[in-house]
Each structure stands twice: as structure tokens, then as C-alpha cells.
Amino acid sequence: DLKSILPFADIQCVAIADVQQTRRDAGKQLVDRHYGNDDCQLYSDFRQLLARDDIDTVLIATGDRWHAAAAMLAAQAGKDVYCEKPCGITIADCQAIEAVFADTGRIFQAGTQRRSVANFATAVDLARTGQLGQLQELQATVYVPTLDNTWLPAQPTPDPEHCDWNLWLGPAPWRPYNEKYVAGGWRGQYDFDSGARLLDWGAHTVDLCQWANQADETLPIEYIPSDTQIACRYANGVKLVIDFLEQPFGDRGPRWVTRLGTCPVRFIGDEGSVETGDAGELLASAPTLQQELSKAKRVQGLDVTEHARNFFDCVRSRQKTICNPSVMRHSHVACHAAALSWILDRPLTIDPKTERFVNDDEANRLCKRPARDWA
């Protein structure tokens, strides 16, 4: 996302904070090369960056464990925030983000950028405007869920200037250092990741289904897990099927790399269906509809430019972003509810108004995790 916003003439990246020296240096090299100077300032502790009065906005691109805490601290420091997904690793995280941004009046954009990509927006428009008939079923693909929390062998803790391990862990539970964690090995670890990895893609694909169903202010009420999918149902009767990636949609081949590309979604009505993915292609069940879709704009790959542009425009206008805290919360809570049904291996029912599970104390306890005192 940093590469996407650097070309914007009306913004300037002036500082980078990262607990890892190699990542700080790489970020500075990227920024300074773009601007042709040596002005980008570096910080090992992001709180030093937030203390600067001359910084208006921040892009949060940490590991998942840090997203919510960093976003809320930034808002409380008077910054507007673009936050990578998933924005919170628990339901409570997502609720807290919305509350803090409402209280501070800061602008927030969740990095669920497919809402700003043309082919996905076109598919959603077909569903929302009745061109597929009465909407019946929404299908979203996700990574196959995993539930692992294995500690890797302990290694000597590095010098904090090279990698501040305490700050890297942040609100996550303490465990001994291993270089594989900071090299991306945190993914799939329950302490560091979110929702059994279901939010890695679910934050995108379930979010698109929410949008298609005009459900930005609600979420599915029922979640039934199985070995290959999680079947969900909205109060309006529309089904949401969260499909695991070994066999997307059941008929798209054995691997997630399909003709549609990554993150495919399908919307089904009683008069037709449409599906699309990151490859940019739109496929419709009706020939007449497919002919119209052939004229639609396609974007190859994952282009975040329009999403970032929406954020900066809203920073100036003080209007809500396309993926504002409320939109984020409802989509993320739907994903977390689905993940908890898979983790607990039983159906769950949630009250979409209170976001509490019905007659399930264990599921409600898992809506929040204890945060370590990292400060």
C-alpha cells in the first residue's frame, strides 16, 4: 500500500516506524528514492512517530496482533488512520476500534480494498440492483482454517535496536524469540493471527458479500461449520457460504489459483449469478448479462490506488470512507463468528444487535483476549 500512495501529489510520506531495523531501512530507501532526497525519518517505536504534530495520517501495516491497538493509539494522538486488514483479531477489538474513532472524530479506512476495485464493484452492483433477481446465496472463499499455537525453539533475544522483541510482541502473550516469527512465521499462530486465519481472505470476500446483500449494518445470524465450508444465514433468509480453498465453489478446480484469480466470490439470484476474483474477469450465468459484463472495466491484480485515494479524499472532506469503522466491524464480526464456530466445531447463533452469541458462554468468552502489558 505504501508503494500505491507514494505517487499521490497531495501527500508526502515523512516517517516510518518499525521494530525491525532491516524493515525500517528498506522503507526509508523506498521513500527516499521516490522523493529524491534523504528526508524520511525512522523510528523503532511508533509512539515517537505518533507524537509528531506535523503528521496527519498513518498507514498501519504491522502484523495482525498490533492493528487494533496501533489504530486506536493513533486516533487518540489525533491521526487519521488507514489500517490493513484484519483490523482486529477479536470481536472486542473491532468493537473498540469503532468506539474510539467515534469518540475522537478521526477518519478510518479498513484495508479491505476490493470495495474500490472495478470488477468487484460491478459484481456487487448487479446483486444490489436486482439484475440477478432475488438474491439467494453468496459464496466467499477463504484460506483453509488452521488452529496452531506451537512455540518455536527459543533463540537469543536480539538487541532492541536490531529488533525490539517486546515491542514486536506488543499486546500478544509473551513467548521466547525465534527469528522465524519476525520473518512471517507468526501467520497461523493463534496468539498472533486472527480467527484461525479465516480473516486473511474473509476480511475481503465476506466483506464483499456483506456489501452485495446490503448488510453493512448487520451480519449473518447463524453459522454452521463443516470440513469444507461454513454455512451462514442472514435474517432476511439469504445464505452465505464461506468456502475453504481446496475446492473453491466445488467446481473450480482443486487449487485456489483459478481462472478468476485469488479471493473469488459468487453472488447467486433466482435469475442469474455472477462471479469474479483478483484476475479481474467477470463471469455471468446468463449470456445477455455476460455480454454486458464484457464491457466492464477490469483491473488485473490487486490495485489499492482507488481505495487509498478514497481515504485521503475523506481526510480532507471529513466524510466517511467506503470501509469506515461500522462497515469494518460488521464484516469482521461476521468472519470472527464464523471462525469461532469452526474453532468450537459447533453451530453458533449470534444476536446481530448485541453481537453476543445466544446461549453459548464459551463462544462469548472467546470474543475477547487478554492483552499483555507491553508498555
pTM over 0.85: yes
Architecture of domain 118-146+195-301+330-365: 2-Layer Sandwich (3.30)
- Per residue in 194-236, pLDDT (tens digit) is 878 899 999 999 999 999 999 999 999 999 999 999 999 999 9
Domain with CATH 3.40.50.720 in the chain: 2-113+306-325
Band of residue 299 on the pLDDT scale cut at 50, 70, 90 = low
- How many other CB atoms are found less than 10 A from the CB of residue 285? 15
What's the whole-number mean pLDDT along residues 279-308? 78
Domain with CATH 3.30.360.10 in the chain: 118-146+195-301+330-365
Q: Locate 184 and state its grid cell.
A: 512471517
Which CATH code of 3.40.50.150, 1.10.10.10, 3.40.50.300, 3.40.50.720 fits the domain covering 2-113+306-325? 3.40.50.720
pLDDT at 194: 83
Supply φ then ψ for residue 14, to 5 degrees. -115, -10
Rounded CA separation 247/63 (Å): 28
pLDDT at 261: 79
Q: Give the list of residues 6+ apart from residue 373 with CB closer than 8 angstroms, or none.
A: none
Supply φ then ψ for residue 141, to 5 degrees. -100, 150
Cis preceding-peptide flag for 86 (omega within 30 of 0): yes
Rounded CA separation 179/153 (Å): 10
* DSSP single-letter state for residue 84: P
- Per residue in 50-71, pLDDT (tens digit) is 999 999 999 999 999 999 999 9
- Per residue in 138-149, pLDDT (tens digit) is 999 998 898 899
Band of residue 112 on the pLDDT scale cut at 50, 70, 90 = very high
Ramachandran class of 369: left when φ > 0, alpha when ψ lies in -120 to 50, beta otherwise: beta
Distance (Å) of CA 14 to CA 6, 17, 39, 43, 369:
11, 11, 7, 11, 34
